[in-house]
Amino acid sequence: MSVPLVQLAPDLTVSKLCLGTMTFGEQNSASQSFHLLDEAFDVGINFFDSAEMYPVPQRVVTQGRSEEYFGRWVRERKIPREQIVFASKVTGPSGQMTWIRGGPECLDARNITEAIDNSLERTQMDYIDLYQIHRPDRFLVNYGCFCRYVPMFGETQYDPTKQYTSVGVEEQLDALGKAVDAGKIRYIGLSNETPYGVMTFLRVAEKVPQYPKILTVQNSYNLLCRTFDSGLAECCHHERIWLLAYSPLAMGILSGKYFSPDGGPADARLNLFKGKYSEGESRYNLSNGMVKAATMEYLDIARRYDIHPVSLAFAFVLRHPLVASAVFGATKSRQLQEVINACQVELTAEIVADINRIHAMCPSPCP
């Protein structure tokens, strides 16, 4: 069994599955992480995603371990650099993660450049294939703290009356362009972005030839979160931008484990870090009746068609014509194998019609 590939650019081909490293260094030890990476690479997964703030939940004592573990794996396994595609991200403004450059107040050129250099040092790599802005630098000022201004992670309403601070896209693209010219990164992408943000980056890049063009946007997309289709999909289609769909299992909810009689395994992320992972819990709120209702309907579809719930969830994401790769996490070999098996599943028109019927009754309960 081999995972299919897709060509993002003339010299950049990635697997349709991208193994995220968000658990490496927290839920997974170095040896456990290496084992998962070995298994993924052996079946053709060549695409791996990280971030300078990983693992999560974010802590000062673990920050950067995910990148460190990945770099160590590449060196110890003596994997030729050209055989893997490595993606990472720069942390945006944060009043909480003070251990990352003092809790950056903005994503200016200094922060972007320093973040890239730090990631290269942690991984001990010469370059990063895809470098992404983790979240937009559009934050409101609230009593001297910087809070999210762009609706995301469960927020849906945009308030135009709020004041916010922001670094110009020109400065961000200039810093990223210089990193490309220096050979530190190859391509750039956005994450957790809106149609406005994507089009702004594209408009600015068109005016200055030396600025790099956005290649990908990494946003949440799954059976419970289809907000990408409402505006952003049109932007990506016309501007030839690929979607890297993260959280295809809605943080594990679509596996059904959290709605089992025992509430799921104690080491499942939403149980293990209950109350410590506000961003995940705000979007994937298990006490939300609509989340449970929709999930139970999707699980029923899987039972009726004799499809594993994980396969149903991944097959739905991978059938989207704009999805280049599904970014997923795994803490156990069993979970990894379930995802790999999902690549072999194709949804019939009848199954898709049933899925869309549920979506029409309960659209995107996890925006």
**34: closest CA among 22, 47, 26, 24?**
24
Give the whole-angstrom CA distance, residue 65 versus residue 50. Answer: 10
**Joined tokens for residue 345:** 């599943």
CB burial of residue 1 (10 Å; 0-12, 13-18, 19+): exposed
Range 333-339, long-range pairs (CB < 8 A, 24+ positions): 333/35, 333/36, 333/39, 336/19, 336/36, 336/39, 336/40, 337/39, 338/308, 338/310, 338/311, 339/17, 339/310, 339/314
- Which residues are marked as active site? 54
